[in-house]
Structures are given as C-alpha cells and as structure tokens.
Amino acid sequence: MLKLLKVGHCFHPEAMVMKGHSWQSMQFPAIVGLIKHPQKGYVLFDTGYAKRFKQETERFPERFYRWLTPFHICEKESLVYQLSQLNIGADEINAIFISHFHADHISGLLDFPSASFICSKVALDTFISLGRIKGLIKGYLPKLLPSDFVKRCSFIEDTKKIIIRNKYAPFSAGYDVFSDGGFIAIPLPGHAVGQFGLLLESSGKSCFLIGDACWTREAYQEGVRPNILTYAIMDNGKQYLETLDKLSQVYLSNKKIQIIPSHCQLSFESFKSG
C-alpha cells in the first residue's frame, strides 16, 4: 500500500522550474509517501516540511534559505497530525527512506523516535562533511538530523544490488532494500549527491517515487526543462539531464508506471493509491 500525503508547500517562480513559463510565484507541495510494508510495517518516503524548518532558519545565514524558498506548513498539514488522522502513531513508523538530505525532505525526522533510517552512504557523508556554511549553500540544515541518526541508519549501498526488470529500461540496476523485490532503491544522480528514488511494486502495480529528479511531471512527459539558474544549485547538471532523459524513456515505454516527483501537484492529485 502506498498513500501520498502533502506535508507543507513552498513557493517558487514557475519559470525557475519550467523554462519559458511565467515568473509568477507558484505553490509546490512537499509530498511524502506512506507505505505499509507486509513485513516492515509503516515506512515513510521522506518527511516533507515541519515547523522546525522555520526555527532552524530564524538566524542568519540560514535565513537566506527561507528567503530563497519561502514555505508554509500549518498544524493540519504536519505529518504527525495527518498520520494521527489515519490512526497511525508516530511510534508506529518503523523506517524512513530518505531520498536525499535537502531540508524539505528531512525536516520531520525528529518526530519519529522509533524509526530507523535508510539512506545513501555517499549522501550522508557529503551532508556531514560540508558543515554549516557550505552545507547551507547546498540546501542542507544539519540541525534537522537526530543526534543518534548514525546509530539508527543503514545504507542503501550495503543492500543487495539487483538487475531490475526490462520495463524500467534504461534503468537497469537497483538495491533490493528489504530483500523482497518490492522496495527497490534506484540511483537518480544530478539533483543532489547520492539521491535515490524508490520503486514500489505490489499486486502488479508499479510506483516510482523520484524525489527531486524533476519537480513536475511536465519535465519527463513533455521535455520541459528548468531555468538555467537552477543548475547553479544542482550537484551535477549533466547527470540531472541524463536522469531526466531516462525517466522520459520509462514514461514513454510504459505509461502504467506511476512516476511521482516530490513536488508535483498534478501527480499528487492524480495519484491512484494501491
């Protein structure tokens, strides 16, 4: 089972995300995946925004982050509240898969004291090694990480590498995170160091949660590219475009696969759970 939750949203000029569009500010949801795994129980894909993002960006230089990407989250949109409405306690979340360490994906980690974390080793090493200022430039806020994070985390790269089915070509390999073939981490380089997406397969349905490999579905469906200014904050612009091209090929060859970018309102609205 996969359910999508909108956990806050940010504002961005449309033209930054979609080259040639208007410079009007547009809302982008922060989408979290809630997965009920048959053996592992409740697992989250990212955590979206949380109020502590605001606290952690009160001071300078962190305040620049909030200026560049203004955001909004109200109590009813908070992840813990939305889970409570589904009768799921925060302590019932057993694991959190982290696509990458940008603050809009990890702001809620501290709300889940019982969860273990699944992330990329190279992503975590980069996050830790950059420090406060260099990390901030890359969109990282170290204080969002629980102090016992390292003790509670396991690395995607340490799980079994597998060849994935032809229907996902040109993606060819992934990591079988729970050793059941239904929860597969796929490298999506370019946007941030060590970014991974998650391919979920159950009852013949396939969902591909792709984090920030692109911001809207127009990118892989219609070839809409971001503004050149956004390449300055990417880890690797060339890899970003290669990843996007692969996603377009998956989309064109099999439209039944639901590809879900973390900030795409249309994908959120049209998602069919299952």
Within residues 179-238, the interface with Zn ion by CB under 5 A covers: 212
Q: How far is the CB of 247 from Zn ion (least distance, A)?
A: 15
Q: How far is the CB of 237 from Zn ion (least distance, A)?
A: 14
Within residues 70-109, the interface with Zn ion by CB under 5 A covers: 102, 104
Q: How far is the CB of 49 from Zn ion (least distance, A)?
A: 10
Query: For residue 70, is the peptide bond before it cis, meaning its omega torsion is within 30 degrees of 0?
Result: no
Q: How far is the CB of 195 from Zn ion (least distance, A)?
A: 7
Question: What contacts 6, CB < 8 A, 6 or more positions away?
Answer: 29, 30, 31, 32, 48, 77, 268
Give the residue with the Cβ less far from Zn ion, 47 or 78: 47
Give the residue with the Cβ less far from Zn ion, 37 or 191: 191
Give the residue with the Cβ less far from Zn ion, 29 or 174: 29
Residue whose pair of structure tokens reads 């430039």 in the numeric block: 137
Of the candidates 186, 241, 223, the one whose C-alpha atom is nearest the C-alpha of residue 208 is: 186
Q: Does residue 111 bind Zn ion (CB under 5 A)?
A: no
The Cα–Cα gap between 73 and 78 comes to 7
Contact status, residue 176 vs residue 158, Cβ threshold 8 Å: no
Give the residue with the Cβ less far from Zn ion, 2 or 214: 214
The tokens of 204 are what? 């013949």
Residues that bind Zn ion (CB under 5 A): 102, 104, 212
